[in-house]
């Protein structure tokens, strides 16, 4: 691949890749090994976002000091390994003071805006520390506050960036710096019209890197994480899973949408729009290779991968009004849209409709979207049944709906399990099942063994 400064590579490092001093140095080695990498997007050090989310919940003041100490310990462990650390220690201390102050405020009253302000400190601190690691290696690196260009709406916790403004501001504010120095910036965070900090939802740093790649017309977006590529299923669930060397945008996007945590669900949108390949590799073992996600692959297989998404809720709505009536579903979807619920799977019968939703809504906080007001509104229309703790398992492939024997291959091995709901046929790329949460891993293992074993 031709590598020139005019078409840079955007490299993103996830939490484990900036977890501590050694991880940061391994990530720095990767950045410095390729002159085309001009923009680096970082997550917070592993564990820090979870601790900040816990602080933002404001519960349990006794735990507050413990969470604060834990964040301090993670960041100090990096500072303690730096040769010249006085200035950066003062900077990180200021951030820690801010976190303590905001946590106290959250103890009095929580809000989505406050949560985003708090959790943004993870990425602000990791990027400051990474710049310092690079500077001590005599590299000219510049810290850049992404909030200057990543303008979003004010849906705190799951904010949507304004792509037009991002392009304009990237060209005026970021592009000129890229030729001068290596730029280190934050994933996951942005700012709304009034200047308040927003976040793009958990795992959102991948999306930031892809958006910046698009704005800069990057030649490639590199996602460095803790596994050397995208596998046929989560290798933590099935250690025998196999690495996929090349996968199409469509297949990888389906995987991400249906829960493969390796990529944030929105990551591939900018990449597809601008046809920019995405590489996924391990910062622990960069020489192990990885997966290239690109427009088309040779001989796409019938079965490509299995994705798993936990914590799914099934709503079953019953109403005799559905019989021969028009507009019932429109009303249901109107209510769901007002509550920002996106529906994943749906099946209908004469008098009922069953639909699954991700109640976390992929937001940065852990607050459920299944609120009393949503249930009250739906109950005024129909009888509502709620089943929680289900898991969505998606079999991803190609031309699935045109193939013969898919049902036998999939369901033939699943007779020990209760399959609560099946969706097949809407997309030729997936077949989805809903199963009880406690059976999910066993279903994935069984399916994987039969289809990829």
Binding test (CB under 6 A) with ligand ASP, winner from 204, 213, 259, 265: 204
List of residues 6+ apart from 60 with CB closer than 8 A: none
Site mask for ligand ASP (CB under 6 A), range 9-38, x = bound: -----xx-----------------------
User: By rule CB under 6 A, what string of x and - marks binding of each residue 70-109 to ligand ASP?
Assistant: ----------------------------------------
Site for ligand ADP contains 228 (CB under 6 A): no
Should residue 236 be labelled a site residue for ligand ADP when binding is judged by CB under 6 A? yes
Strands 246-248 and 290-294: parallel
Beta-carbon contacts of residue 223 (< 8 Å; ≥ 6 apart): 12, 14, 206, 209, 262, 263, 267, 278, 279, 280, 281
Taking the least distance from each CB to Mg ion, the nearer of 203 and 277 is: 203
Tell me the window of 118-126, 199-207, 216-224, 307-315 that interacts with Mg ion (CB under 5 A). 199-207
Q: In 3D, which of 207, 54, 42 has the Cα closest to residue 125?
A: 42
Cβ proximity to ligand ASP: between 49 and 197 the closer is 49
Contact string 7-46 vs Mg ion (x = CB under 5 A): -------x--------------------------------
Whole-Å CA distances, 46 to 10, 123, 130: 21, 10, 14
Q: How far is CA 333 from the centre of its chain?
A: 25
* 190 three-state secondary structure: strand
Nearest distance from C-beta of residue 34 to ligand ADP, angstroms: 19
Q: Look at residue 185 and give the partner it binds from ligand ASP, Mg ion, ligand ADP, none, a contact being a CB closer than 5 to 8 Å depending on partner kind.
A: none
Site string for ligand ASP, 109-128 (x = CB under 6 A): -------------x------
Q: Are 223 and 206 in contact (CB under 8 A)?
A: yes
Distances (CA, A) of 362 to 26, 234, 264, 265: 30, 19, 10, 9
Determine, following the binding rule CB under 6 A, whether residue 197 of this chain makes contact with ligand ASP.
Answer: no
Sheet holding 303-318, edge to edge: 343-348, 352-358, 303-318, 383-397, 430-436, 421-424
Q: Which is nearer to ligand ADP, 9 or 178 (CB)?
A: 9
Q: How far apart are CA 419 and CA 406, in angstroms?
A: 16
Annotated binding-site residue? 14 = yes
The residues in 67-96 that bind Mg ion, with binding defined as CB under 5 A, are: none
- The answer to whether 231 is annotated as binding is yes
**CB-wise, 12 or 38, nearer to Mg ion?**
12
Q: Which span sits near ligand ASP by CB under 6 A: 41-49, 134-142, 244-252, 424-432?
A: 41-49
Q: Give the helix/strand (H/E) hosting 380.
A: none
Q: How far is the CB of 51 from ligand ADP (least distance, A)?
A: 15
> Half-sphere exposure (CA, 13 Å, Cβ side) for 231?
19
Which distant-in-sequence residues (6+ apart) come within 8 Å of 66 by Cβ? none
- The response to whether 167 counts as a known ligand-binding position is no
Only one residue has tokens 């120095």, namely 181
By beta-carbon proximity to ligand ADP, the closer residue of 151 and 220 is 220
Whose Cβ is closer to ligand ADP: residue 203's or residue 277's?
203
| Residue 17 or 127 having the CB closest to ligand ADP | 17
Determine if 203 is a binding residue for Mg ion (CB under 5 A): yes
Provide the binding-site residues for ligand ASP, judged by CB under 6 A. 14-15, 43-44, 49, 122, 187-188, 202-205
């Amino acid at each position: 691949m031709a590598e020139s400064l005019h078409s840079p590579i955007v490299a993103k490092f996830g939490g484990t890749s900036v977890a501590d001093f050694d991880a940061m140095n391994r990530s720095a080695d990767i950045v410095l090994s390729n002159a085309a990498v001009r923009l680096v997007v970082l997550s917070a050090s592993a564990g820090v976002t979870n601790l900040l989310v816990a602080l933002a919940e404001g519960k349990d003041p006794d735990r507050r000091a413990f969470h604060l100490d834990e964040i301090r310990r993670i960041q100090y462990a990096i500072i303690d390994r730096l040769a010249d650390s006085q200035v950066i220690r003062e900077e990180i201390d200021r951030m820690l003071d801010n976190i303590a102050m905001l946590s106290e405020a959250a103890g009095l009253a929580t809000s989505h805006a406050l949560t985003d302000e708090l959790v943004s400190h993870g990425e602000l601190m990791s990027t400051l520390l990474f710049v310092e690691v690079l500077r001590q290696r005599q590299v000219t690196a510049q810290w850049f506050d992404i909030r200057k260009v990543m303008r979003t709406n004010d849906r705190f916790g799951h904010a949507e960036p304004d792509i037009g403004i991002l392009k304009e501001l990237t060209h005026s504010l970021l592009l000129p710096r890229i030729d001068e120095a290596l730029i280190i910036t934050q994933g996951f965070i942005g700012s709304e019209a009034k200047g308040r900090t927003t976040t793009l939802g958990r795992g959102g740093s991948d999306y930031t890197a892809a958006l910046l790649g698009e704005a800069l017309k990057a030649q490639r977006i590199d996602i460095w994480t803790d596994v050397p590529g995208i596998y046929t299923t989560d290798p933590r669930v099935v250690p025998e899973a196999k690495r996929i060397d090349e996968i199409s945008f469509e297949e990888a996007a389906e995987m991400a949408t249906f829960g493969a945590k390796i990529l944030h669900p929105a990551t591939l949108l900018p990449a597809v729009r601008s046809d920019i390949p995405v590489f996924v590799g391990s910062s622990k073992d960069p020489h192990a290779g990885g997966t290239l996600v690109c427009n088309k692959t040779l001989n796409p297989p019938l079965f490509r991968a299995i994705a798993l998404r936990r914590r799914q809720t099934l709503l079953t709505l019953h109403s005799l009004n559905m019989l021969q009536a028009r507009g019932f579903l429109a009303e249901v979807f109107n209510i769901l849209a007002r509550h920002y619920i996106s529906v994943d799977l749906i099946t209908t019968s004469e008098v009922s409709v069953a639909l699954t939703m991700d109640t976390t809504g992929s937001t940065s906080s852990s607050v459920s979207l299944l609120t009393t007001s949503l249930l009250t509104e739906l109950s005024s229309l129909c009888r509502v049944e709620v089943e929680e703790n289900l898991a969505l398992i998606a079999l991803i492939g190609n031309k699935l709906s045109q193939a013969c024997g898919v049902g036998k291959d999939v369901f033939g091995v699943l007779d020990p399990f209760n399959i609560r709901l099946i969706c097949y046929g809407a997309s030729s790329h997936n077949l989805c099942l809903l199963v009880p949460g406690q059976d999910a891993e066993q279903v994935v293992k069984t399916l994987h063994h039969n289809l990829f074993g």
